[in-house]
């Protein structure tokens, strides 16, 4: 097979109009091959009966469990690290952190790094995986799971998420039940799907409650404190200002608190606020924040277990899971002021 294979690789290289090492790269699932070239070579390899070795559970000497963040490091990243570390400790693995964003800016592909480290599994957090990247990981039998509290990954990618729509619905429902009718919502960026889902939940609750959604109360910004602060200032400066704000996350809600303090509005007497995430700080805000809890530590544990199962060829009962959000009512919400 070896000599026959070698001859055929050269032949494939000739047919594809590339060098033999390039064919070898594609065969071995390595990076740095242009997508069009890769595709042409893949077809030729298949035609000649080449198949990548896969399926066999192999021992990985590295003992690494890799977390890939798009950008380090938000407050919720620490919850995810905590959950993944819980599983790594139990399994005798070591946690590796990498950033996909910064690395790509440098012209390096994070996938190359992953393939070199050959981890027991990769958990991608809010990182979009291109078809080529997916193919590279699959070709080298590196199992991966997308843990995406903020999006909805492609159908055939194993993933752990949370019930964003339900969270948006229950937060808004809670405010309606308190008697609020003008409820503003601060979202994440418009192209982040979790944000879409939360707003759709918000709209559904308003509609169910017989309240017409006023689009001027729906604003987008980054998931940072300063965006929460800026948008809250805008919304609260309106003549017919909202009596309640549903922030995209707890970190934005801190900015809403700041805006309320600057404007002399008391929470919850003059303004009700609901967050999203239930980070440890939310219970210590002044007043303690009512928020939609997404179980980030549990989600990260589930993602770690799922990816390790995949690496052992254990077929998961549920390769795509949304873990439930729960509304945690604290002291930042009340009936609208008299």
Q: Which residues sit at the interface with a copy of itself, rule CB under 8 A?
A: 62-64, 72-73, 75, 77-78, 81-82, 85, 89, 92, 94-99, 102-103, 106, 108, 113, 116-117, 225, 229, 254-255, 257-258, 261, 280-281, 284-288
CB 79 within 8 A of CB 300: yes
Residue closer to a copy of itself, measured from CB, 35 or 280: 280
194, 277 Cβ separation under 8 angstroms: no
Cα separation, 319 vs 145, whole angstroms: 9
Q: Which is nearer to a copy of itself, 105 or 215 (CB)?
A: 105
CB of 69 to a copy of itself, least distance (A): 9
Give the 3-state secondary structure of 141-157.
CCCEEEECCCCCCCCCC
Cα–Cα distance measured from residue 287 to residue 120, given in angstroms and rounded to the nearest whole number: 43
Q: Is the bond leading into 73 cis (omega within 30 degrees of zero)?
A: yes
Angle between helices 20-27 and 2-16 (to 10 degrees): 110
State the minimum distance, in angstroms, from the CB of residue 254 to a copy of itself.
4
Tell me the pairing of strands 121-125 and 272-277: unpaired
**Considering the complex, what minimum distance in angstroms separates the CB of residue 259 from a copy of itself?**
11
Query: Smallest distance from the beta carbon of 122 to a copy of itself, in angstroms?
Result: 12
Provide the 10 A C-beta neighbour count for residue 196: 18
Q: In the complex, what is the shortest distance from the CB of residue 167 to a copy of itself, in angstroms, rounded to a whole number?
A: 23
């Amino acid at each position: 097979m070896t000599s026959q294979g070698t001859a055929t690789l050269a032949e494939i290289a000739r047919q594809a109009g590339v060098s033999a090492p390039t064919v070898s790269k594609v065969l071995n699932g390595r990076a740095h091959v242009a997508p069009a070239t890769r595709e042409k070579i893949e077809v030729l390899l298949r035609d000649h009966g080449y198949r990548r070795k896969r399926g066999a559970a192999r021992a990985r000497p590295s003992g690494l469990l890799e977390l890939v963040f798009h950008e380090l490091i938000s407050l919720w990243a620490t919850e995810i690290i905590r959950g993944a570390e819980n599983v790594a400790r139990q399994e005798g693995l070591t946690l590796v952190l990498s950033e996909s964003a910064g690395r790509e800016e440098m012209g390096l592909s994070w996938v190359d790094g992953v393939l070199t480290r050959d981890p027991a599994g990769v958990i991608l957090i809010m990182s979009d995986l291109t078809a080529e990247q997916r193919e590279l990981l699959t070709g080298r039998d590196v199992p991966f799971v997308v843990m995406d509290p903020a999006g909805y990954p492609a159908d055939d990618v194993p993933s752990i998420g949370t019930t964003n729509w339900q969270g948006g619905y229950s937060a808004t429902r809670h405010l309606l039940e308190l008697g609020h009718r003008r409820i503003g919502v601060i979202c994440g960026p418009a192209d982040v799907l979790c944000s879409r889902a939360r707003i759709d939940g918000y709209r559904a609750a308003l509609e169910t409650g017989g309240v017409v959604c006023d689009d001027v109360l729906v604003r987008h910004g980054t998931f940072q404190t300063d965006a929460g602060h800026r948008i809250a200032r805008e919304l609260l400066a309106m003549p017919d200002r909202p009596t309640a704000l549903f922030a995209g996350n707890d970190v934005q809600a801190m900015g809403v608190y700041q805006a309320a303090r600057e404007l002399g509005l008391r929470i919850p007497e003059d303004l009700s606020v609901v967050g999203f995430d239930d980070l440890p700080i939310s219970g210590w805000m002044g007043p303690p924040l009512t928020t939609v809890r997404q179980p980030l530590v549990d989600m990260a544990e589930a993602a770690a277990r799922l990816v390790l199962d995949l690496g052992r060829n254990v077929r998961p009962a549920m390769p795509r899971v949304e873990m439930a959000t729960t509304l945690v009512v604290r002291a930042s919400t009340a009936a609208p002021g008299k």
